[in-house]
Structure 1
């Protein structure tokens, strides 16, 4: 049986495209997808305002790593929990966020001393936690150009992410980030330990990622929107 709600969404999307003067895609993956549908799309990447990021460094543990995002299967939270079972006791994982798997996380941390669930946190609190962490991990099964990853790059906190979607646009493996296969808790653990044990690699990746994220700053992306508006008016 055809899902009527699905048909409604498809038709609504088509109508929205007809009404719009321009359609922008925030990632190359989205650009390719909508272009194949016959829609004229302009690629304008997602952006952050680097200068406006909250200040501060919230380092609670000597070896602190962090996940900040939606607590859902597609964001890889179950992969993270499986990995956390085998983390050395002196490596502390902070989990920030909310979502459908929140109860699973709450139950999990009751039995593991080096995993700390902080629930939903504002950006003013999350950014210092990211800046105070040695690594940020985000093993999503699907991803666009994630604001959290852009913010972590701007904080000079190295990232381990999955080789999917927008992540493949953001990162060059072993240069601006670490890319792993989704759903592979053993590989995630291996890369966490490799990064923790190689300060030179962490520092090199942090510098390269910070340089790379500059093109996603609103000072640059904003100009792309201005250029598009001028093109539409001409």
Structure 2
């Protein structure tokens, strides 16, 4: 079985990690061959280059470089794949000529978020590509709903998690030594891993942290990530909280930091399937997250973590305090979340779901 995958790039991002881990999983199947087409020469996940799959970069010379349509069309014509699998709205647009003229089976996996405003770029591209897609794939039910996907074409395959990422992680003391945090050895660590931009509610996180520190001095808050709103968010830290709210920037190997947390947090205005929450779950950390549909799906409506209403600083503070005061409750939540992710979201399970879909479409 031959598969062409199209994706904008393999930069450091959630969608790109998912595609990379799928390709790694597919490489273990002797009956699957892939060609990977990138639209940008940006490869963070270089492990893809070690697989026995050809990686082709068709970098656009300028934004509206229509020559890319023909280049992709020619690759597909020569390779004759059984399936075209696109990741992202522009890759879905670029493969349309081959889908239509060569009559190829098309998996359109452009949905990885939870909102699709009318007349936005994604809304327009979905209207163009959905009619010609055999399967429209999302990683959450809220994504399917937001894009108004026809039920006859809709399918959800959730993000997989490669459990090897959390094997042999350094212990808490090693991370404390790495950052020279020896005066924080008895601290309770609360962290949020996310891009610092309009999609995440870092203002709520900081406001709640400022207030929480008023009655809990032995707590350190970690902001792990970077983004355009970082400077604005930093200015929200109260003068008396600056020593206890640390901005660590974007980090490779973020799992070692997640592993030292006592609570993993995600304050957000909307979400599909959160990679950060999955990292918390895989490290057995109790999760406190905003009650938006994607988070509620992942945390089973509060069964696997605590959900707080959007914008509710007091609910967030109460959840942190409960976990700090009752650490057996927090550990029980973390263990339940870990059990769920290993049983249902291990990358091997998810890769098999893709392979089953490929076989179903080619029979």
1:63 is aligned to 2:185: no
CA distance in structure 2 between the aligned counterparts of 1:30 and 1:192, rounded to whole angstroms = 29
Residue number in structure 2 paired with 1:78: 203
Residue number in structure 2 paired with 1:182: 310
Q: TM-score, normalised by structure 2?
A: 0.58
Residue of structure 1 aligned with 2:143, choices 30, 33, 48: 30
| 1:27 CA displacement | 0.6
Residue number in structure 2 paired with 1:121: 251
| 1:120 CA displacement | 1.4
Quote the RMSD (CA, aligned, Å).
Answer: 2.2
Task: Please list, as runs of the form range in 1=range in 2, the aligned pairs for 1:1-234 lying within 5 A after superposition.
Answer: 6=119, 9-34=122-147, 36-37=149-150, 40-53=153-166, 55-57=169-171, 58-59=175-176, 60=181, 61=184, 62-87=187-212, 88-109=216-237, 111=239, 112=241, 113-122=243-252, 124=253, 126-172=254-300, 175-214=303-342, 215-234=344-363
CA distance in structure 1 between the aligned counterparts of 2:278 and 2:313, rounded to whole angstroms = 23
CA distance in structure 2 between the aligned counterparts of 1:42 and 1:21, rounded to whole angstroms = 10
For structure 1, the residue ranges without an aligned partner over 5 or more in a row are: none
CA contact (8 A) 2:191 2:258 kept: yes
Q: Secondary structure at the match of 1:14?
A: helix
For structure 2, the residue ranges without an aligned partner over 5 or more in a row are: 1-117
CA contact (8 A) 2:225 2:250 kept: yes
More relative contact order in 1 or in 2 (CA 8 Å, sep 6+)? 1
Q: Which entry has the higher C-alpha Rg, 1 or 2?
A: 2
CA distance in structure 2 between the aligned counterparts of 1:222 and 1:17, rounded to whole angstroms = 24
CA distance in structure 2 between the aligned counterparts of 1:163 and 1:224, rounded to whole angstroms = 28
Q: Secondary structure at the match of 2:261?
A: coil
CA contact (8 A) 1:29 1:165 kept: yes
CA contact (8 A) 2:134 2:153 kept: no
